[in-house]
Amino acid sequence: MAQVFVNATLVLADRLLENGWLLEENGKIARYGTDTAPDADAVIDCGGKYLSPGFIDVHCHGGGGGSFMSMDLEQHIKAMQMHLSHGVTALTPTPGTIDPEQIRQLRAIKEEIDRREDLPHHLGYFMEGPLTQPHPDMAMGDAKAPVITPDIYEPALKEAKGIVNRWMAAPELEGGMEFGRALRAAGITGCMGHSNATVADVEEAMRNGYSCVVHLYSVMSTVTRDNGFRRGGLVEAGLLFDDLDVEIICDGCHLPPELIKLAVKCKGYDKLMLVSDCGPLGGFPEGEYEADFGPMKVKVFIEDGVCKPPARNCFLGSVATGDRLVRTVYKQAGIPLWGAVRMATKTPARHCGWEGRKGEITVGADADLVIFDDDIQVSAVYLMGKAVK
Ligand SMILES: [Zn+2]
């Protein structure tokens, strides 16, 4: 069974290919080119729109009313369906637990998701915390930083092997470097976030298993002064060190265009990843809601395109979807469309260990594809060549 997509502008990793066609065979990209398309069992006319690799979101807590922080399969499915409809064909669902029993439940959920052919590909979880600095803006939870010791995390990492892809911690906290080494030993990418690390801390962390910075600029240290002597924080380290992959939340609210442009200028398309940090309310219209943030339920507002607590003094994650991330970077920050797409596809695929297999239009890669117009309105989504929208 082969099908050919015609009349499309192909979004390649390094350019746009106009008047393009793409031949899909057995769920894989078999060939692509311009002008005369080859014969196939079925022809899909893209109507002159873009044909792009599906988006990959490596930091996503939920959406469509479903929460990845829940241990309920239905909630995971609900969130996945919502993101799929906006062009996300693979993601790393983001809960936050270090409880081995809960991680066992998450394994069972992943196994169910893996059996389905109508949901985004589950690349393994992105686990947040608990070894992080207290959130400075929010008077919720414990104000003290936690301490985690091997007797707490070793049983969790044993359960997490093979189903957790990446894990966030603040490396400067007590036990942070040991935890980074334990993550590395478990084959899990150490990600720095919700952290007050100095540049020196980050250099040490990079020798101890950490290789990524979570949502740059948000909930992290930047330039401080120590009796007049300035020093850099995690923001500067993320921008400076080429070995670090860096996430940016591109909902158009968390970061203004100039900070997106600065990050692109420093990191380039191959080290920067567009993420949503989307909460369970992703995809809902503006209004007042009760949101489920793991252990607590809180009243929140969706206003100005973002989720806020009643005090409206900060953001509680985003309500963004994959299409909106690309649209923000393309339209607001003026990045070429292929570059914006690369940061939402090929780069996160490589980060998650799927280089060449997902996240790009290349021969032999999975035919996870989306069709969208110049406003990044997604009209069709394909998983392994199968139409799901
Ligand atoms: Zn998050």
* Whole-number pLDDT of residue 241: 98
**54-358: CATH number:** 3.20.20.140
Compute, in angstroms, the gap from residue 96 CA to the centroid of ligand 1: 9
Compute, in angstroms, the gap from residue 194 CA to the centroid of ligand 1: 9
**Euclidean distance between CA atoms 282 and 177, whole angstroms:** 34
Compute, in angstroms, the gap from residue 168 CA to the centroid of ligand 1: 9
pTM for the structure as a whole:
0.96
Compute, in angstroms, the gap from residue 317 CA to the centroid of ligand 1: 7
Contact 338, 16 (CB under 8 A): yes
Q: Which of 379, 126, 97, 115 is nearest to 245 (CA)?
A: 126
**Euclidean distance between CA atoms 76 and 80, whole angstroms:** 6
Q: Which of 331, 328, 364, 325 is nearest to 345 (CA)?
A: 325
**Euclidean distance between CA atoms 15 and 320, whole angstroms:** 26
* Whole-number pLDDT of residue 155: 97
Q: Please, what sign has the CA dihedral across residues 20, 122, 208, 274?
A: positive
Residues, CB within 5 angstroms of ligand 1 (ion): 277
- DSSP-assigned letters across all residues of 161-221: TTTEEEEEE-TTSTTHHHHHHHHHHTT-EEEE-SB--BHHHHHHHHTTTEEEESSTTSSB-
Compute, in angstroms, the gap from residue 195 CA to the centroid of ligand 1: 13
The dihedral over CA atoms of 85, 86, 91, 93, expressed in degrees to the nearest 10, equals: -80
Q: Which of 298, 312, 304, 299 is nearest to 286 (CA)?
A: 304
Compute, in angstroms, the gap from residue 65 CA to the centroid of ligand 1: 16
Question: DSSP strand E in 264-344: where?
Answer: 272-275, 287-293, 296-303, 306-308
Compute, in angstroms, the gap from residue 58 CA to the centroid of ligand 1: 10
Q: Which of 210, 208, 261 is nearest to 239 (CA)?
A: 261
* Whole-number pLDDT of residue 144: 73
10-residue block means of pLDDT along the chain (389 residues)? 96 98 98 95 98 98 95 98 98 96 98 98 96 72 76 96 97 97 98 97 98 97 94 98 98 97 98 97 92 74 92 90 98 98 98 98 98 98 97
**Euclidean distance between CA atoms 19 and 7, whole angstroms:** 6
* Whole-number pLDDT of residue 138: 56
* Whole-number pLDDT of residue 135: 75
* Whole-number pLDDT of residue 287: 94
Compute, in angstroms, the gap from residue 94 CA to the centroid of ligand 1: 7
